[in-house]
Amino acid sequence: MSSNRAVVAGDAVRRARAVAECEEWEFVASFHCQQVAEIDRSDEVLLTKELARREVTLELAQALRITEHRAWAMVHEAATIRQKVPGIWSSFRAGDIDAGRVSAIADTAERLETPEARAALEASAPAYAATHTLTELRAWLRRLRARLEPDQTQAEITQAVEERRVSITHNDDGTSWLNALLPTGVAVAVGERLRRAAKALPPTDPDTGERDRRTRDQKHAALVGHWLTSCTGTATDIRAEIAISIPATDLVGHTSGPGITLDGEPVTAAWVRELATSEHTILRRLVLDPLGHVLDTEVLTYRPPERLRQALRWRDGSCRVAGCRAPVHDTDLDHAQAYDAGGSTSGSNLRCLCRKHHNMKSHGHLDDRHLDTPLRHVERYAMAPV
């Protein structure tokens, strides 16, 4: 089957699945609404009515071979979408977006408090959801909410931070899980420090001369164990160079939009301002055009200089293959047009590809149509017409 036929056939299958999911949701919502209406019209006491409503959910769950929790979620999310962002339901019915994406949008719609914010969600989400993976959509929804309702988001973050904790769960095989719930900004710094420290480890043991055969994950686990068993510090000391994009108006406090980490997660403007005052923070100037694109740079050698590498990592954010979330620091810089065939070492001809996709491209198995556009550091959301 040719690539074009695969795209056409695959799109038809995707749409058919989404339409079928919408039909299932409509059946669940309609059946539940009808049965509950009959229950509410009865003269039974409140407790009896509530138990009868639960029976309706149970009947739906058993009929569809799903859990009661999932059946109720479909009822609740369908009502949220229809009441607060009905345009999303129209896209669902048309097969443009599937149930997983509708659930993610419903969760955001329920959290948004103002009609203006919900209107922006309704106007912007269908196009983004239809062209991105569910993981990308969820990250985009978090950024949208942080931008549209910064005060509400900050209040929620403050409450969530109060619940930060560490838990240890012992397994039966001599290992244990160490889980830490941290503020996103701190987690970003931890991950960056782990990456740098693991990369800096010597390839061979200086004492025995044996090659270090540990995987990256094994090195990370070893480092965490070393740090937590040999460090007596009681204050967070962020010394890593943190990649965060934030408009100047947010940084100086004129507006309160979020900062965006290199992997696309929103962090509060207050935390970025605090980080900017640290003596250990390295601030780099990244020149953008008015639309948020990194301005092009060109050099006359095959290997790009470190400054260009940093700019391109900012620009791409992750592997440029659509749907691939490989961290940008684990990618290679690939010349779209080979250097020995006249391709320039410039922003317009370089893109970040993870090792798997880089190898596919080198052997002629990665067409440009599989690549996503460069990351834009200024996201624009469509607003509903007034």
Q: Domain holding 357: CATH number?
A: 1.10.30
- Residues spanned by the domain of 331: 298-370
Q: Do residue 12 and residue 143 come from a single domain?
A: yes
Prediction pTM value: 0.70
CA distance 16 to 22: 10
Structural domain contains residue 292: no
Q: Do residue 129 and residue 99 come from a single domain?
A: yes
Q: Do residue 141 and residue 219 come from a single domain?
A: no
What is the residue whose two structure tokens read 């290992």? 175
Mean pLDDT of 305-326: 81
Structural domain contains residue 273: no
Higher pLDDT, 385 or 154: 154
pLDDT in tens, 31-49: 999 999 999 888 888 888 8
* pLDDT cut 70: percent of the chain above it: 81
CA distance 106 to 123: 14
Query: Sorting pLDDT into bands at 50, 70 and 90, what band is 81?
Result: very high
Structural domain contains residue 248: no
Q: Do residue 123 and residue 171 come from a single domain?
A: no
Q: Do residue 75 and residue 203 come from a single domain?
A: no
Q: Do residue 58 and residue 117 come from a single domain?
A: yes
Residue 237 pLDDT exceeds 80? no
Q: What is the token pair recorded at 233?
A: 């510090």
Give the residue from 69, 90, 107 showing the smallest Cα distance to 22. 90
Structural domain contains residue 98: yes
Higher pLDDT, 23 or 230: 23
Q: Do residue 138 and residue 197 come from a single domain?
A: no
Q: Do residue 45 and residue 7 come from a single domain?
A: yes
Structural domain contains residue 212: yes
Q: Do residue 142 and residue 17 come from a single domain?
A: yes
Structural domain contains residue 201: yes
pLDDT of residue 342: 86
Q: Do residue 63 and residue 196 come from a single domain?
A: no
Structural domain contains residue 159: no
The string over 324-358, giving b where at least 16 C-beta atoms fall within 10 Å of a residue's C-beta and e elsewhere, is bebbbbebebbbeeeeeeeebbbbebbbbbbeebb
Query: Sorting pLDDT into bands at 50, 70 and 90, what band is 105?
Result: very high
Q: How many separate domains does the chain show?
A: 3
Q: Which of 103-117, 300-314, 316-330, 331-345 has the lowest mean pLDDT?
A: 300-314
Structural domain contains residue 50: yes
CA distance 307 to 313: 10
Query: Sorting pLDDT into bands at 50, 70 and 90, what band is 235?
Result: low
